[in-house]
Amino acid sequence: MCKSKLNGGMRFRNLQAFNLAMLAKQGWRLISNPNSLVAQLYKAKYYPHGDVLNAKLGSSPSYTWRSILKGLEVVRRGSRWRVGNGERISIWEDKWLPTPTTYKVISPPNPLNDYPRVSAFIGRDTRRWKSDLVRSLFLPFEARTILNIPLSHSLPEDQVIWAGNKKGEFSVKSAYYIATKVLDTKEEGESSSGDARSPLWKKLWHLNIPPKVRIFAWKMCMNALPNLENLQRRGINTYDIFPACGKEPESNFHVFVKCEVARRVWSC
């Protein structure tokens, strides 16, 4: 019911995803306001030697921290790093490239593991990328992408920015759509594909017929009509034979296609 109409749902608001988006908002506040009293308290207790994005549950966590930690998964999905001095960004694990597909490096990791941070590719004296080193470690197209990332002459600290919308500003609305994807991934798995019946749903919802007829057709396609066969499947003790003909169980296919009564109706 909470899926989009193109994925076979009714686009109802997913309250679980909305709750995750609200928790993500609290997690984003810890990132955007690291000097606030609450952020400093959480950092001292749960991630004293790291940052909130890589924080763990810890020992004896509070209920509030458990909740915020669940929302941080949405923040991780919807944010990426903006390169400053590169000292906080892991080359092979973090999202820091301006490539909207993954934001991550897809070149094979360096086997020597001598370059764990992006700062290894930035010259402290020149304040520019070490172009020869970048070209030697990354695929050609990815090396060009890295070298095109602008660097500030002052080399400020790396910054986490929101990539969930075009404005680059965190909003509960954009976090909600990411939260729905997080929940879908947990339910269906990472390798799940889209609904193969999307063309059918697109045609159905654009038919020039009354809305109640479109909803009835959707229920028929999803086998959600309260026919006797479905009622019996859901534990209701009832006789499932179609009363109009008294021959076969009352299923969608029998009622609307196979039954002689249905055929007479369609012929009229």
pLDDT per residue as tens, the chain (268 positions): 877 787 788 878 889 999 999 999 999 999 999 999 999 999 999 999 888 988 898 888 999 999 999 999 999 999 999 999 999 999 988 999 999 888 999 988 876 566 789 999 999 899 999 999 999 999 999 999 999 999 999 999 999 999 988 888 999 999 999 999 888 777 665 444 567 888 889 999 999 999 999 999 999 888 889 999 999 888 888 888 988 888 888 999 999 989 988 899 889 9
Q: Cα 124 vs. chain centroid, distance in angstroms?
A: 37
If you ran DSSP here, which 8-state letter would residue 208 be given? S
SS3 string of 108-123? CCCCCCCCCEHHHHEC
pLDDT in tens, 163-189: 988 888 999 999 999 999 888 777 665
Q: Are 128 and 122 spatial neighbours (Cβ–Cβ below 8 Å)?
A: yes
What does the mean pLDDT of the chain come to? 89
Q: What is the pTM of this model?
A: 0.70
